[in-house]
A and B are shown apart, each in its own frame.
Chain A
Amino acid sequence: MDMIETAGLTKKFGDLTAVDGVSFKVAEGEVFGFLGPNGAGKTTTVRMLCCLLSKTSGEAHIGGYDVAKDHDSLEIRQMIGVVPDNVGLYEPLSAYKNLDIYGRLYGMTEAGRRQNIERYLGMLGLWEKRDVAAGAFSKGMKQKLAIARALIHDPKVLFMDEPTANLDPESSKTVRDFILDLKQEKRTIFLNTHNLDEAQRVCDRIAILNTKLMATGTPDELENMVGGKKVVVELAQASDAVVAALKKKFAGVAIVSDGAKLSVASADPDGQVPDIVDAVVRAGGRVRFAGVEGSSLEATYLQLVRKEG
């Protein structure tokens, strides 16, 4: 079953189109990564899906409920948890109290709240700090508390807007591992990020957004979207003569020069490295490095995101 489904979802702020005709589906239990540069419309999309912001046009359904209908909107909000880009904690109140208030807003019993607060604060390593005011927490601790708050009512769908953006590598890893734990529990997770590595590690599928949806697929599918492998040669200094010589010798092959860095598309890069280096040296180039580069999510991402810009 599709837990999240959008069709032509669009948001305009006056003349500015922030999200343009976005359509995708997220299956139940899937971790779905939403990748895009600053200003791509990730936060705007999540806000529309969480019934925080009205859409300009198009459709969006969560668990079969329509985000645009008032009554459905309450059902959706009961079913989802949100980690917004700004944590928005009640700073004067303790971690426990912050979670307790949210548990009450979701209609949980006192026993249910106590159990889940202990469970999630425990999983995120904050149980010992439950009586400390949230305002006294470090950024990473605040982020974790916001994650616990989003989970307090055991939502089926979890939206996270750049949950590791402010975290040190160790805390980022804790959060990533935690996301993987949640995946085991068959929760649907919608993850906004501009960290490609993170998306690749935790997501089942990834969508690349740049106002419009540029591509959707598994990490492997996206990796292979852009060109095959290539030989990369870095020169001690840029040289037009070398580029000309290579173009002459390997006519019909895509050769890209980026300053002193040259890349030559190749079906058999490992076998071709010596020939290419030889040609470079003959043309007077001094080689600092030569090797093979595969396609990567980064390459796909950069190509798709730049195409529009």
Chain B
Amino acid sequence: MRFSQAWIVATKDFATFTKKRNIIYTVLIVPLVVSVALPGVVWYVQHRVNGADVGAAELTILLPAFVFFYLIIAGFIPTTIASYSLVGEKIEKSMEPLLATPTTDGEILFGKGLAAFVPPMGAILASSVLFMALMDTFTRGALGYYYFPNWDAAALLYLAVPLAVVMSVEWNVFVSSRVSDVRIAQQLGAIMILPLAGLYVGGEIGLVPLGDLNTTLYIAAALAIVDLLLLSVVRETFQRDQILTKWK
């Protein structure tokens, strides 16, 4: 596995993405909106004219739930890119000449994975910094301290989120090998949002203690296992013989 070779495959995709407006929108706008809208909600609640003030107790429940949003969006943002990057190649029939170059199947797979991983990851991390800064600014008064950064948020953003992005990328590679319509690929690809959203709902109804470092580490461990399982499936699917004859 030569990283440089995989990177060339990925840079080709990056060059293509910059020409696709919907990809730019999904990858940049969604995390940005979350990062501005959620602090905006907190700010609004605190500045309502007649409302009761949100106290420190409510905030310490609200804030970790809000951070969890990043895990949910991590589950679907790669979908747009991965489905375009693979189903697009299928439609343009551009896998065959690529496979004819001295690039191994693993390098192509890794390159495609990087192409779908790097932009969402970058956008999520950058916007999460904005999110934490805004939240700290708006909640410092009520809390008396800066809520962010903290260990739980760090474990979520730097461990669980990348693992969720990897899961989504792998799942989308698998889906893209089975369907030849970008839209269907995107709908099936976004299914990975369900278990993550399920966890969020579990947190809201008190089944899953969100905002707890241990919970986040358990979630990360589960994601890591799913990632490894999916990797073996994806490697099986991503073989030149299969790509040219079975991918429909």
Contact = CB atoms under 8 A, between A and B. Distances in A.
Interface stretch (B12-20, B40-48, B188-196): B12-20
A90 B88 CA distance: 9
B101 A88 contact: no
A92 B19 contact: yes
Interface stretch (B27-35, B68-76, B91-99, B142-150): B91-99
Interface string B4-26: 01001101100110011000000
Q: In the complex, which of the residues A53, A78, A150 has the most CB atoms of chain B within 10 Å of its own CB atom?
A: A53
Interface stretch (A96-104, A237-245, A275-283, A296-304): A96-104
A52 interface: yes
A88 B93 contact: yes
B36 to A, nearest CB: 30
B102 interface: yes
A146 B97 contact: yes
Nearest to A46: B100
A82 B100 contact: yes
Interface string A75-109: 10110101010111111110001000110111100
B100 A149 contact: no
A77 B244 contact: no
Given A54-B241, A88-B92, A89-B92, A149 B104 contact: no
Determine chain B's interface SS by DSSP, over half rule: helix
A286 interface: no
B103 A105 contact: yes
Nearest to A133: B19
Contacts of A146: 97
B245 A78 contact: no
Interface string A58-81: 000000000000000011011010
Contacts of A105: 5, 8-9, 98, 101-103
Given A89-B92, A101-B12, A105-B8, A74 B244 contact: no
Contacts of A89: 92, 94
Contacts of B240: 51-53
Given A52-B244, A104-B8, A91 B92 contact: yes
Interface string A141-166: 00000100110000000000000000
Nearest to B95: A88
Contacts of B94: 88-90
A80 B92 contact: no
A47 interface: yes
A107 B8 CA distance: 10
B88 to A, nearest CB: 9
A203 interface: no
Contact of A88 (B8, B12, B20, B97): B97
A248 B11 CA distance: 77
Nearest to B100: A82
Contact of B100 (A52, A75, A90, A107): A52
A87 B95 CA distance: 10
Given A102-B101, A105-B102, A53 B5 contact: no
B92 A82 contact: no
A146 B97 CA distance: 9
A50 interface: yes
Nearest to B7: A104
Nearest to B11: A101
Q: In the complex, which of the residues B11, B98, B100, B245 has the most CB atoms of chain A within 10 Å of its own CB atom?
A: B100
A97 B19 CA distance: 13
B8 A13 contact: no
A14 B129 CA distance: 55
Contacts of A101: 8, 11-12, 15
A86 B9 CA distance: 20
Given A52-B244, A53-B245, A101-B12, A77 B100 contact: yes
Nearest to A50: B100
B168 to A, nearest CB: 23
Given A80-B100, A150-B97, 19 more contacts: A47-B244, A51-B100, A52-B244, A54-B241, A74-B104, A75-B102, A77-B100, A77-B101, A77-B103, A82-B100, A87-B93, A88-B96, A88-B97, A92-B20, A93-B16, A93-B19, A101-B15, A105-B5, A105-B101
Interface of A: 13, 47, 50-54, 74-75, 77-78, 80, 82, 84, 86-93, 97, 101-102, 104-107, 146, 149-150
14 contacts: A52-B244, A74-B102, A78-B102, A82-B97, A88-B92, A88-B95, A88-B96, A90-B92, A93-B15, A93-B16, A101-B15, A102-B97, A102-B101, A105-B98
Q: Closest 9 A-B residue pairs measured CB to CB?
A: A88-B94, A86-B93, A82-B100, A105-B101, A77-B102, A92-B19, A88-B93, A78-B102, A84-B96
Interface of B: 5, 8-9, 11-12, 15-16, 19-20, 92-104, 240-241, 244-245
